[in-house]
């Protein structure tokens, strides 16, 4: 019979992973969200700057101040829309960074734990090629019922969101639209949801990131793994 090996998460590594995660989340809030917190005021300032620029131009006697006002308003609207789209893209990119780091950390940790016992198995060879669902299946087969956790649906949604952000249309988009349509921000009565409708709010970013954190927080100290 093959020996049972411990492949749990020891406290020092857990503390490191949680601290690094918390730092990332805090910096996204401070360096990304905070920089977009005054977007409406900045858009108003852009409109005013455009108005001042138009009014400072030499007049040819046929200029209509109403046209200048419309153009200035349009400049403010464009600034706000471009800013919101930029925030949307950066927020999704930050979530993708967070998720991909988590995925690599899981695979790397399991690989190190198996190597620690000086053996190589078929499962170890597959750690870096298997889909995430197979990795979770493996952990569940060792007794950790991840999919029964309350935070699992957020972790699963995070996976689909990141895939849609990266690839656009495809099976992940179909699954996201069916299972977690709240992340496709469009009026279903007017528009058909598309991958470009993908958007997460600051609150949703915190919730999704919180699920990644709970994964490491709840990771068992000891899982008994058979090399057979």
The pLDDT score that the predictor gives to residue 115 is 79
Per the structure, how many domains does the chain have?
1
Confidence of residue 55 (pLDDT cuts 50, 70, 90): confident
Neighbours of 210 (CB within 10 A): 16
Which phi and psi (to 5°) does residue 227 adopt?
Answer: -75, -5
Question: Left if phi > 0, otherwise alpha if psi is -120 to 50, otherwise beta: which for 29?
Answer: alpha
CA–CA–CA angle 204, 196, 171 (5° rounding): 85
What is the token pair recorded at 42?
A: 């900045």
Mean pLDDT across 21-40 = 96
The model's confidence at residue 19, banded by pLDDT at 50, 70 and 90, is: very high
Q: Which residue range(s) make up the domain with 30?
A: 4-56+64-226
Of 56 and 13, more confident: 13
**Band of pLDDT at residue 61, cut at 50, 70 and 90:** low
Residues 6+ apart with CB under 8 A from 166: 96
User: Greater confidence, 47 or 228?
Assistant: 47
**% of the chain beyond a pLDDT of 90:** 63
Contacts of 195 (CB under 8 A, 6+ apart): 164, 168, 169, 173
| Distant-in-sequence, close-in-space partners of 192: CB < 8 Å, separation ≥ 6 | 186
Lowest pLDDT segment from 5-19, 62-76, 91-105, 197-211 = 62-76
Query: What global pTM score does this model have?
Result: 0.87
DSSP of 203-214:
HHHHHHHHHHHH
Tens of pLDDT, residues 152-189? 999 999 999 999 999 999 999 999 999 999 999 876 55
pLDDT value, residue 130: 92
State the pLDDT at residue 51.
79
Residue identified by tokens 């949307």 is 88
- Residue in 132, 101, 104 with CA at minimum distance from that of residue 23: 101
User: Rounded CA gap, 179 and 198, in Å?
Assistant: 14
pLDDT of residue 1: 40
Report pLDDT for 32. Answer: 95
Lowest-pLDDT choice from 81-85, 115-119, 188-192: 188-192
Q: What is the model's pLDDT at position 117?
A: 67
d(CA 162, CA 175): 12
- Give CB contacts under 8 A, 24+ apart, made by 117-126: 117/3, 117/5, 117/227, 119/5, 119/227, 121/227
Rg (CA), the chain: 24
The helix/strand/coil state of 11 is helix
pLDDT exceeds cutoff 90 at 126: no
Helix segments in 117-169, DSSP class H = 122-125, 132-141, 152-167
Question: Which residues, 6 or more positions from 200, have their beta carbon under 8 angstroms from its beta carbon?
Answer: 91, 92, 95, 161, 183, 208
Say what the pLDDT of residue 2 is.
Answer: 46
Which of 14-28, 102-116, 209-223 holds the top average pLDDT? 14-28
**Among 67-71, 92-96, 102-106, where is mean pLDDT lowest?**
67-71
């Amino acid at each position: 019979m093959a020996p049972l090996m411990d492949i749990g998460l020891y406290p020092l590594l857990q503390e490191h992973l949680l601290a690094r995660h918390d730092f990332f989340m805090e910096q996204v809030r401070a360096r990304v969200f905070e920089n977009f917190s005054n977007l409406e005021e900045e858009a108003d300032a852009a409109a005013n700057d455009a108005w001042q620029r138009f009014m400072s131009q030499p007049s040819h006697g046929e200029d209509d101040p109403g046209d200048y006002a419309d153009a200035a308003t349009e400049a403010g609207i464009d600034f706000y829309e471009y800013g919101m789209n930029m925030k949307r893209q950066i927020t999704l990119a930050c979530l993708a960074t967070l998720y991909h780091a988590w995925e690599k950390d899981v695979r790397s940790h399991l690989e190190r734990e198996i190597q620690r016992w000086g053996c190589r198995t078929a499962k170890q060879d597959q750690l870096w090629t298997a889909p995430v669902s197979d990795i979770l299946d493996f952990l569940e087969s060792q007794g950790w019922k991840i999919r029964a956790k309350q935070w699992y649906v957020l972790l699963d949604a995070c996976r689909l969101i990141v895939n849609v952000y990266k690839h656009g249309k495809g099976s992940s988009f179909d699954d996201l639209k069916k299972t977690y349509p709240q992340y496709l921000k469009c009026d279903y009565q007017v528009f058909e949801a598309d991958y470009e409708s993908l958007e997460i709010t600051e609150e949703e970013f915190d919730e999704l990131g919180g699920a990644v954190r709970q994964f490491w927080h709840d990771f068992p100290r000891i899982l008994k793994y058979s090399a057979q």
